[in-house]
Amino acid sequence: MMHGCLGNTLQGWKKFVEMEKHERLVISRFAKKLTMRSANSALFKWIEYCKERKWLRGLLNRCLGGREVGLKSAAFRTWMHMASAATEEEMSNELDDLRKQVKEQQGGRPHPHPLPHPHPHPHTYTYTTVN
Query: Within a 10 A sphere around the Cβ of 37, how many other Cβ atoms?
Result: 10
| CA 65, chain centre distance (Å) | 16
Q: The whole model's pTM is what?
A: 0.31
Measured CA to CA in angstroms, residue 64 lies from 46, 49, 60, 108, 131 at distances of 27, 22, 6, 64, 20
Tens place of pLDDT for every residue, the chain, 131 residues?
A: 467 778 888 888 999 999 999 999 999 888 888 878 877 788 888 899 999 999 998 888 888 777 777 778 888 888 888 888 888 888 888 888 888 888 888 875 655 555 565 555 555 555 555 65
pLDDT, one tens digit per residue, over 86-105 is 888 888 888 888 888 888 88
